[in-house]
Structure formats: structure tokens, C-alpha cells
Structure 1
Amino acid sequence: MKKLLLSGTMLLSFLCAFGQKSDDSALLKKLVDKQILTQQEADQIAQEDNKQSQPASFTQKVDKVRDAFNTPYMKFGGYGMLLYKYSDVSNVKHDFEPRVVFLNMGGQLTNTIGYFVMAELVDPLLHELYLDWTPTKAFNIRAGQFKVPFSFENQISLTNLETVVYSRTISSLVSMSDDVMKLQNNKNNGGRDIGIQASGSLFPTGNHDLLQYSMGVFQGSGITTREQNNTKDFAGTLTVQPIKGLRVGAGGYFGQATYSNDGGITTSDHVRNRWGISSDYQTDRLTARAEWFKANDGGIDREGVYGSLMYYLIPKKFNAVGKVDYFNKDKNINSEVMDYTLGLNYYFFPQCRFQLNYTYSDYSNKWGAENSNVVQAQLQIVF
């Protein structure tokens, strides 16, 4: 008897659902016949009903979970990276480690005021903390700790960078792990500093803005580090976009860094100036970028230039990248190196990918290092 009741209930539910769909179709047909709806409008309504009746995809379910935890006032996110590295010149040739784990929070306090906070957990450190005031697209004020407005590549997050690591030119000349700024606070500053900047986009021309600017005054001591002298640094970039996707910019960074360049005997202020030209071109499948910089670090002339090209073999899923990077850390003696990098990126979920890079580094005799072959494999998870 129970089986009979259960079967009858299931049959009745099916007939009701089928009947509801049939009634909806009949109603739409009558509305079209009476010229209350056009046939196109009726078809659109039917398509929407079909979409709503279909089960949600995994991505849609993830988005629903995110929406449940996030509001315009407070949004949470982050990313983690696991890195394997092989180097034929290192004492430890094979190394596997958690590279970074970033957690961030941001949101809008009002229609024109927003905030952002980001910290790293593997080597615990606050990387970003700033407040934005944006009364118009043409004018924004940002105050706090954030990336300095210098170099196109420096503005790119690790999660969107085409290669596993930044170019040696950028790492050495834009406040990263190979910059002299690390000598004063012993930190990889990640292209960031504490300061205040103004930025904006001007002269709209159809589907893009012709001119972008960003300039600011910075402490010059690096992230989460107190001031060490009585001077402030200036950084700025002016960018022209003549056609959508093509940008050409020029920028400069002028200031000082406090460190020892005589083996730690004395510490003093040294000039830390950079200037350069940047360009990039981007479409749905192609990204090309090139930058050239010159620098003066305490009387030592440096120069760097790189070019990179990435192309999606399968849109939004699989791409290949190539990069050539030249850096001269002392032009007086030509202490230089060329890095040649080939890489692949496979996205198994939006913003989550597996990266594989091979880099051959060719050093000059004055550099004092062996030519090297390095393989890097990285798993990136964004949440």
C-alpha cells in the first residue's frame, strides 16, 4: 500500500509539473495571438524559464557562496601559490615550498570612498592598506600603502602575471627583491611603498580613454617601515592609449634610499632615481609588453629592458608565453645578464592555474655568476 501511495504521489508531481509547463506555453501562445506579446518576446520568456529550471553549474554555486559572505561594504578574498623550482647551479637543486598566501578585504564605505587591506601569511607582513576617494573617473586620491605608480608590469598582480616571477629588470629597479631598497629594510617590498597619489583617466574617445595619469609622493622606506631620512620620493607615469588595447607610457621615480654600500661599516643616504618608457598591447588572446629603464643608485648607472609575448592557444584556458630580459647592474663595467624564458599556463578554474616556466640565464664575466637553467612549476589558487 505504501509503495502504491508513493508511486501515485510521484506520478501526480510529474503531471503537475508537466501541466504547468504546458499551461505556460499555452498562455504565451494566447498572448501572442491576441497581439499582447510579440513572438520574439514570448520566445525570450520561454528561454528564461528554461534557464531557471536547469540545475546550477559548479561555478554558479561557487558564486552564490561568495555572494553569501560578501557585501558591497565588506568583501573577502585571497590567493595561494605552491612553487617547485629546479636550478642546475644551486646547492639544493630541487625545492618545493608554499610561496605566498595572501588574504585581502575591501569594500565601499560610500559611493565615492573605498578601502583595501591585504596581508601575506607565509612570511607574515602587511602588504597593502589604503583608502580611495573617487569623486569622478578623472580624479582619484589614494592614501596608504600600495604599489607605486611606476612601470606597467609592477601594476600587475602575481595572479595575472604571464610568468611565474617578475622580470629581473622590474625586480631590480621597482622596489622588489633585487632593488637596493631591500638593503634598508631587508624586505621584498613587492613594488610598494607608503604615500599618497592622484590618478585618473581623461578624454573619453568611444570605447576607451585617451589619457591616464598617476603620480604621488612616497616615504621611500618600503612597506611597513618607518621613515629613515627627511626626504620624500616622487613617482609618476603618464600613459596614452591611441587605440583600444594599445598603451604607451613614460614614467619616473626620484628619491633616496638609506643603506650601507661599504660592507656595513657606515650607513648613509644614496640617490635612487629611475626613469623609463613602457608599452603594451592586449586583445582577448594576445598580450605583448615591453619596458626600458635607466637608473642611478648612489652613482652606479644601471639599465634594463625586457619584452614579453603571450598567446592563448585555447581561449581562457591555455596559453604560451615567451620573454627576453636584459639587465645591466653596473654600466661602468658592463655587469650584465640575459634571461630567456618560455612558459605555459593552464587554467583549470577561473583565475586558478598551473604554470610551467623554463629560464636560461646568460651572465657576463663581470657579473660573477654561472650560466643557469631554471625550471619553475607553480600551482595558483584564487578564492
Structure 2
Amino acid sequence: MRRLCISAILTTMSSLSLFAQKAAWCDNIRVSGFAIAQYQWSNPKDNEANTFNLRMARVALDGKVAGDFYWKTQIQITGNTSTLASSPRLVDLFVEWQKYKAFNLRLGEFQVPFTFESPIHPIDVGFMDNGQAVLKLTGYSDRSGMHSSNGRNIGIMAQGDFLKNANGRNLLHYAVSVVNGQGINLKDVDQRKNLVASLWVMPIEGMRIGVSGWEGSYSRKGNWTDAQTVDKRNGVRSLPQHRYAISGEYASEGFTFRSEYVHSTGNAFAKTMTNTNDGSASDCNLSAIGNKADGFYALGIIPVIKNKVNVKARYDLYRNNAEWNSAKTFYEAGADYYFTKNLRLSAEYALVNDRNLNKHNYSIINTELSIKF
């Protein structure tokens, strides 16, 4: 089935490329993508791992229509076809009106404007994955129980840059979106939309300082047991989600320094949804992790040989109940080697302190070969 899906995707891409050669209105259509192959070793007690892995691959089409309209569609290929979390699946499909720099209007499925790191290209993040707070609080492996959605949702968004300085560089950026709040490829359940917005200032070239917020809910339709009355209930259960992030970044001449604090208030479902046809989709019981979580990371990437060799380090903390007894901390260091601009080998060592485990400390060695096209 997986081979069939991949073949169908490649055939569709090929057909669209041939069509683009014939149709003048879309003669600027582009095909792009990337792939990441991974080797990882780790030694948490009783859960050791030593494996090669095809971490992720994406293929995207984008272009412009009628001058002012930009469109994009992107498919992610990982795992098998049986679950929402790892199936070949659509992650982007939107159209954006781009007539004015200060006001662009996007409609479809897209990356929501929450945190600086979430919208960054997976290869350009610089480490083995996003920071834990980004993964758990922006819709990747979200603590709420939402299926893996790569920080994306379905809805509408306005964004733009404005307030030019004397050199013509914009000093402010904003983005405001109204989305379903259910993740990718699913309709709304509780008919309550989520508001996700960000605002940042760019005081000097390469620097941005900003805040973002998420106000809404995540919902399921199914069954649960009331914790106080022990009554069996069914219907739609909606869990409010209130989140904010404080972010800062400086990126210039190959140097990158970025740090973010993310906080969440809101309960979670006990089981993460992995398949719309199994019990996880209708299990509305609550998780025992409570209604608060937070996380913080700080990283630096420094070029040793420009466009050839980088060294890097990251401190990455996440607390799944906002208390220190649940803290999981990564102390990471590594390096990147660029064969070409689009072909990179990365190696990284992480010492992990996880207070949720009986034996807190373990190590991870991660290497990745990534290519863009």
C-alpha cells in the first residue's frame, strides 16, 4: 500500500509538471522537496534503540496564478498508510492573495503563526528535531492528544510586514489566523474556532523579538467517564487550550541564536489520536498530566567554515505538568558538514535528564543525511 501511495504521488507530480509546460497561466509552477535519512542510538534503561530510519520526505508544488495569488500544496511521506500520525498525507494546501506587502490573505491548510521555530524548514531547524515545547505545544506530537499535524491547521490567515525604517526595511510583522483547532485534514468538531496570532519587531537586520498566542479548544466526539460522578457520558467533549510564547532570534551570516519560552493551560485527552477509525478517535477520557505545561529552549549555531562546517549547541527543557518533577532536559552539541548547499551531513550528541523515568539520565547519538531539491 505504501509503495502504491508513493507511486501515485510521483505520477501526479509528473503529470502536473507536464501540464505546467503547456499552460501559460501556470508556467511558473515549481516542484521542490526534501528527504532526511537518519541513524540514531539511545540507551534509556529497558528501552534501548539502535536503528537506521527514513525520518521524513516531502514533495511540494507551488506557483502563482493571475499575478497576485500564490498557491502551494505539499505532501509528507513517512511510515505506513494506517495512521494519521505516519501516513503519506497532505500537510499544506492553500491559496494566498499577495497584492500588498502589509496585508496578505491565506485560505486553506497551513502553518499556524505560533512560535518562531514551528514554521522553520525541518532541515533549517538545525537539530535532530524541533524543541520539545514546540513539538508538544504547537501541534506536532501535541500534549492535547491531537494527531500529528506538523504545526498546521485549516482556516484563514492575514499577515504582513509594515512600518519601514529609513533604509526601507520593515520593522513589524503580524499574523492573525482563525482555524478549526483539530489539526490537519479534519473538520471542526465543537464548532468553536481557534484564534492563533503573532506579532514581532525587527529592530536591526537579522533580529526579531516577538510574542504569539493561541486561544481555542481541541475536541472529540465520543465517550468518557465523569471523574467525580463516575457516570458514563457521550457526546462532544471540548478541552479549552490557552497558550502563549515569547520568542527571540538573531540570524545573520550563518550565525543563528534563538530562544523561546512556551506556556500552555488546558487539559489533555488520555490517548493520542492515531487513526480516525480506532478507539483513540472517540476516547474522551482525560489524561492524568493535568492542565498546565511549559518549556524553554536556547540554541546557537556558529559557522566554523562558512557554507561548509557549523558547530552547534542547544539547551532544551519541557515540563509536561509545569512542575520540576516532570522535567525532561536535553543538553545537545553537534556539527554539520555541507557537501553542497543542498546536501548536508549532521551529527549530534545529547545527554538527556528525564525525571519521569526511574533512571533519569541517558544518551542519544543522532546522525542525519538531508537533501533538498
TM-score, normalized by the shorter chain, greater than 0.5: yes
Matches within 5 A, 1:74-93: 74-89=29-44, 91-93=47-49
The answer to whether the aligner puts 1:309 opposite 2:319 as a matched pair is no
Tell me, yes or no, if structure 1 residue 251 matches structure 2 residue 241.
Answer: no
What is the Cα-based RMSD across aligned positions, in Å? 2.3
Instruction: Give the aligned partner of residue 278 of structure 2.
Output: none
Choose the corresponding residue for 2:260, options 291, 294, 304: 291
Per the alignment, do residues 355 and 292 of structure 1 end up closer, same or farther by CA in structure 2, a change over 3 Å counting? same
Aligned to 2:364: 374
* 1:239 counterpart residue number: 200
Shift of 1:188: 1.5
Change (3 A) 1:275 1:92: same
CA distance in 2, matches of 1:328, 1:243: 33
**1:155 and 2:146 correspond:** no
Structure 2 distance, partners of 1:262, 1:140, is: 45
Counterparts of residues 189-204 of structure 1 (less than 5 Å): 189-204=149-164
What is the identity, as a one-letter code, of the residue corresponding to 2:264? Answer: A
Q: 1:319 is matched by which residue type in structure 2?
A: N
1:121 is aligned to 2:85: no
Give the Cα separation in 1 of the matches to 2:255 and 2:41: 29
Shift of 1:351: 2.3
- Secondary structure in 2 matching 1:271: strand
TM-score (norm 1): 0.76
Question: 1:202-241 alignment to 2 at 5 Å?
Answer: 202-205=162-165, 206=167, 208-241=169-202
Residue 57 (structure 1) aligns with: none
DSSP-derived class of the 1:170 partner: helix
Using the TM superposition, give the Cα deviation of residue 227 of structure 1 relative to its aligned residue in structure 2, in angstroms.
1.6
- Cα-to-partner distance string for 1:223-281 (whole Å, 9 max, x where unaligned): 01122211000101000011111110011011111258979986721111111210001
Q: 1:164 aligns with which of 128, 135, 144?
A: 128
- Deviation, 1:195, is 1.0
Letter in 2 for 1:240: V
The alpha carbon displacement at 1:110 in A equals: 2.1
Deviation, structure 1 residue 73: 3.0
Determine helix, strand or coil for the equivalent of 2:134. Answer: helix
2:118 counterpart SS class:
helix
Paired position in structure 2 for 1:174: 138
Amino acid at match of 1:164: M
Shift of 1:92: 4.9
Indicate conservation of the 8 Å contact 1:336/1:367, yes or no.
no
Matches of 2:161 and 2:169, distance apart in 1: 9
Residue 253 of structure 1 aligns to a residue whose secondary structure is strand
Structure 1 unaligned blocks of 5 or more: 1-65
Alignment of 1:311-326 (within 5 A): 311-326=302-317
| Equivalent residue letter for 1:200 | G
Distance (whole Å) between structure 2 residues aligned to residue 344 and residue 161 of structure 1: 13
Residue pairs, 1:88-103, within 5 angstroms: 88-89=43-44, 91-103=47-59
**Deviations for 1:96-118, whole angstroms, at most 9, x for unmatched residues?**
11111211100011221010000
1:338 deviates by: 1.4
Structure 2 residue aligned with 1:29: none
Equivalent pair of 1:175/1:190 in contact (CA under 8 Å): yes
1:339: Cα distance to partner?
1.1
Cα pair 1:355 1:377 within 8 Å, conserved: yes
CA drift of 1:202 comes to: 0.3
If each structure's helix is expressed as a fraction of its own residues, which one has the higher value?
1
Deviation, structure 1 residue 352 = 1.7
1:73 equivalent to 2:36? Answer no
Question: Tell me, what secondary structure is at the counterpart of 1:163?
Answer: coil
- Letter of the 2:344 partner, please give it: R
Alignment of 1:33-48 (within 5 A): none
Distance 1:92 1:359 in 2: 15
Report if aligned partners of 1:337, 1:367 keep a CA contact under 8 Å in 2.
Answer: no
The match for 1:105 among 44, 55, 61 is 61
- Runs of 4+ in structure 1 displaced over 4 angstroms? 69-72, 259-267, 366-369
Distance 1:148 1:362, change over 3 A: same
TM-score by length of 2: 0.78
**SS in structure 2 at match of 1:172:** helix
Q: CA deviation at 1:376?
A: 0.9
Query: Is 1:281 the counterpart of 2:222 in the alignment?
Result: no
CA contact (8 A) 1:207 1:244 kept: no
1:139 aligns with 2:103: yes
Aligned residues of 1:159 and 1:351 also touching (Cα < 8 A): no
Report how far residue 72 of structure 1 moved. Answer: 4.8
Contact persistence 1:257–1:270 (CA under 8 A): yes
**What is the aligned partner in structure 2 of residue 60 from structure 1?**
none
Report 1 or 2 for greater relative contact order, CA contacts < 8 Å, sequence distance ≥ 6: 2
Q: Which residue of 2 aligns with 1:38?
A: none
SS at match of 1:220: coil
Residue number in structure 1 paired with 2:347: 356
AA partner of residue 231 (structure 1): R
